Amino acid sequence: MDLLRAKVEDATMNGANMGDLENLIAESVKELVRPMLRHGAQLIADRQPMLCPECKSPLLIEEHARERTVNTLFGPVVVSRSYGYCTKCRKRHYPADHALGLQERSTASPRLQEISSLAVLRTPAGRAPDDVRRMTGLDITSSTLHREARRQGDRALRLRDADVALSENLEGIKELSERSRVPKQPFTMVIEIDAWNIRERDCWGETEELVKKGLEIPSRWHWVYTGTVFRLDQRGKTQTGRPFITERGYAATRQGVEALEKQLYAEALQRGLLKAESVLVLADGAIWIWNLADNRFRQATQRVDIWHVSERIWAVANELHGSETPEARQWAQQRIAWLKRREDGALDVIGDLRQIRDNLEGLSAKQCETLDQQIGYFDRHKNRMDYKNGKALDQPLGSGAMESTCAQYQCRFKRTGQFWSLEGDEAFLALQTLHWNGRWNKLFPHDKIKQSE
């Protein structure tokens, strides 16, 4: 400490500001505490019984005191540990590595694993090293950050898939449901579903060759199917009237609609699905969404987002009365009001559109086509347009929470120049979702922030 004090005093005499002092002290403290970290890690390693971490069977000890160098917040630390062979699992294990939270073939400590994951979830790995260096004083290459984050993404995938597997049998469903913390009073669960596009490196660099061969160029854009789950009582407003949701669950996958269905069901169970008095599924008019709802949330009330419906009405208004004219505005607003205020507002709108369509005189072919399309849309979804009762129950009429969810994912996964592989985007989607779902400590038990289930 005397040496550190002398360094600080010398720095102050040479024009250092407080930031300089912070950097100086941080670096000096690392050197002071690294022996303590090594001592504590070695104590943990020495106290581990030589049992298989998977089946708890005794290991056949093969070697004592094999050293491993681990990069930590305070610099490299060397830990000595034993390893043995499990005759049941037929695997070689280092029990100390498991206890210390070290990953196979990784040189990063648990805190460096976490820092790498968080850094890459917020910005591309190529840009992250500078931020990490400024925030922590650590010089970590972009390749190391990406590799460690991807490793945690693969772990997040395994955790996600384990929950999905539980949701496929009665005992597992019970286990997932018991994780939920819900109020004693009756509540409504809201489930919103949508999809957005992600760009992948399909046949990267082969476009010109494919064109020469007359082959079809594969699309670079692919759907990420996404859902969010929350209780109605978890909605609120700020003092300025801005709406917010205090807590909710997420699901997102590139593996298709069926995969989303399973993941969303597992997440809904952990949010209290089986304890909900009622369930509302809210989305746009995509058929795949309602098929999913019918398959997995059969007893739920279904509602089409009022904003998507309003767009349909505006499409007719602009076609009949001219784009954005006062007449179009009055016509559209009146029929949107019918939907919100009338018991059978959807039927009234359908009847009005059919009456206009039947009056063929003066209608152009384009106007007839627009009317036919929207009459079909309203007829398919009329039972999902009970907005008056929804408003009376203080339920959401629009899927703003879902739009926000898609936007949040896209902020990271859909940046300019950003490309993914199927394996990479699925791993990072799982990692991001685990974080937002408040289960970060399942990857990093040292994280003591209050988690949600």
CA gap 83, 63 in Å, rounded:
6
Considering all CA atoms of the chain, what is the largest pairwise distance in Å, rounded to the nearest integer?
97
Reading across the β-sheet that carries 60-72, which strands appear in turn?
A: 60-72, 75-86, 91-93
pLDDT interval class at 375 (50, 70, 90): very high
H-helix segments, 76-215: 95-100, 110-122, 128-136, 142-166, 170-178, 207-212
Could you read off the pLDDT of 60-105 as tens digits, one per residue? 998 888 999 999 999 999 999 999 999 999 999 999 999 999 998 8
**pLDDT number for residue 449:** 63
More confident residue, 97 or 450: 97
Least confident range of 153-167, 269-283, 320-334, 357-371: 357-371
208-229 per-position pLDDT tens digit: 777 777 776 667 889 999 999 9
The 10s digit of each residue's pLDDT in 2-22 is 777 888 888 888 888 888 888
Q: How far apart are CA 50 and CA 96, in angstroms?
A: 9
C-beta of residue 114 within 8 angstroms of C-beta of residue 72: no
Average pLDDT of span 193-218 = 79
Q: Provide the pLDDT for residue 355.
A: 92
Strands 60-72 and 75-86: antiparallel
- Per DSSP bridges, beta strands 243-245 and 235-237 are antiparallel
pLDDT, mean of residues 367-375: 94
Q: Inter-axis angle of helices 326-341 and 306-321, to 10 degrees?
A: 150
* pLDDT score, position 27: 83
Name the residue with higher pLDDT: 323 or 3: 323
| DSSP character at residue 51 | B
Average pLDDT of the segment spanning 228-240: 92
pLDDT band (50, 70, 90) for residue 38: very high
DSSP codes joined into one string, 179-226? T----SS--EEEEEEEEEEEEB-TTTT-HHHHHHTTPPPPPSEEEEEE
Residue 397 tokens read as 């009429």
Predicted pLDDT of residue 259: 97
Distance between start and end Cα atoms, the chain: 44
pLDDT at 204 over 80: no
Mean pLDDT of 37-59: 94
pLDDT in tens, 265-297: 999 999 999 999 999 999 998 999 999 999 999
> What pLDDT sits at residue 430?
97
Q: Which of 280, 290, 257, 364 is nearest to 321 (CA)?
A: 364
CA dist., res. 13 & res. 191, Å (int):
62
The answer to whether the CB of 226 falls within 8 A of the CB of 406 is yes
381-386's contacts with Cβ under 8 Å and 24+ in sequence apart are 381/285, 381/304, 381/309, 381/346, 382/346, 382/347, 382/350, 383/302, 384/290, 384/302, 384/303, 384/304, 385/303, 385/304, 385/309, 385/339, 385/345, 385/346, 386/301, 386/303
pLDDT of residue 453: 41
Between CA 158 and CA 190, with CA 162 as vertex, the angle to 5 degrees is 110
DSSP state of 300: S
Regarding predicted confidence, which is higher, 22 or 354? 354
H or E element in which residue 85 lies = strand 75-86
pLDDT tens for residues 113-152? 999 999 999 999 989 999 999 888 889 999 999 999 999 9
Residues 241-268: tens digit of each pLDDT: 888 999 999 999 999 999 999 999 999 9
In the structure, what pLDDT confidence band is assigned to residue 452 with cuts at 50, 70 and 90?
A: very low
**Average pLDDT score over the chain:** 91
Distance CA 224, CA 196 (A): 5
